[in-house]
């Protein structure tokens, strides 16, 4: 039981390049989330998927797109990376769509945009 | 607008000493409240949460937090610090009026031998 896994662990991009961050969970959870963590700012929600087939914007969605590929997988895409997107990205999942349900986090992806 | 304030970006205690990490929220209606811990190079892990049951909430690893409405606070405590408690701790709230997490900026706890 691996929980929430994220790939890659580290990535360096040049401005304008695109990439997709992958996230998968093996807990049969319905809801999945993408956050970014910047120094001194805590976590901010980018997008979430309350259930398979649905996605919604969070607090900072600009510059990102998401795909809920199936119940297990939720990917985050940067179409044209910018230095402001340098951050640590965390994927999380929860059993139900209720926000008070415990969220389980992956280990994160450290992204640097030059 | 909702906000979460964690007083002290860095807290240092000796092993065996009391741990007190402070969290205050701004809301006229008490929100749902959470404490998460993040160990180096890992994701966040839920320590405990308050969802309007008992005001004293016990969590994992010997941590507990008390919801005080009059002080709009949800401070995290542990009677005796252990070296393994060294990590960053985040307070978070979800307003009852809508579904969204607001995280504090975090407090890094250092435990000295």
Rounded mean pLDDT for each run of 10 residues along chain B, 113 residues in total: 85 97 88 91 89 87 94 96 96 79 91 96
Per-residue pLDDT, A99: 72
Q: Which residues of A touch B100 (CB under 8 A)?
A: 45, 58-59, 99
**pLDDT recorded at residue B98:** 63
Distance between A100 CA and the closest CA of chain B, angstroms: 7
Out of B43, B46, B94, closest to residue A107 by CB? B43
Q: What's chain A's average pLDDT? A: 92
Q: So what's the pLDDT on residue A25?
A: 96
Closest-CA residue of A relative to B43 is A107
CA distance B107 to B20: 11
Cα distance between residue B13 and residue A10, in whole Å? 32
For A9, A19, A55, B69, B91, the CA distances from B49, given in Å and listed in that order, are 29, 35, 26, 15, 10
Per residue in A35-46, pLDDT (tens digit) is: 999 987 788 999
Give the pLDDT of residue B101: 78
Neighbours of A113 (CB within 10 A): 19
Residue B48, strand partner residues: B35
Q: pLDDT higher for A17 or A102?
A: A17
**Contact yes or no for A42 and B99 at CB 8 A:** no
């Amino acid at each position: 039981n691996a929980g929430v896994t994220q790939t890659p662990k580290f990535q360096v991009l040049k401005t304008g390049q695109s990439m997709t961050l992958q996230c998968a969970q093996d807990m049969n959870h319905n809801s999945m989330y993408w956050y970014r963590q910047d120094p001194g700012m805590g976590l901010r929600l980018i997008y979430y998927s309350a259930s398979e087939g649905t996605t919604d914007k969070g607090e900072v969605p600009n510059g990102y797109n998401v795909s809920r590929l199936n119940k297990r997988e939720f990917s985050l895409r940067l179409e044209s990376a910018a230095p402001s997107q340098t951050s640590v990205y965390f994927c999380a999942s929860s059993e139900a769509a209720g926000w008070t349900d415990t969220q389980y986090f992956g280990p994160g992806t450290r992204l640097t945009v030059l | 607008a909702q906000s979460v304030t964690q007083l002290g970006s860095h807290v240092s205690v000796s092993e065996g000493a009391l741990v007190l990490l402070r969290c205050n929220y701004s809301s006229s209606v008490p929100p749902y409240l959470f404490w998460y811990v993040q160990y180096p190079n890992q994701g966040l892990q839920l320590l405990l949460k308050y969802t309007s049951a008992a005001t004293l909430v016990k969590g994992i690893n010997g941590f507990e937090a008390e919801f005080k409405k009059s002080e709009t606070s949800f401070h995290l405590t542990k009677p005796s610090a252990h070296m393994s408690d060294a990590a960053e701790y985040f307070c978070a709230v979800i307003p009852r009026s809508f579904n969204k997490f607001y995280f504090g900026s975090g407090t890094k706890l250092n435990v000295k031998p």
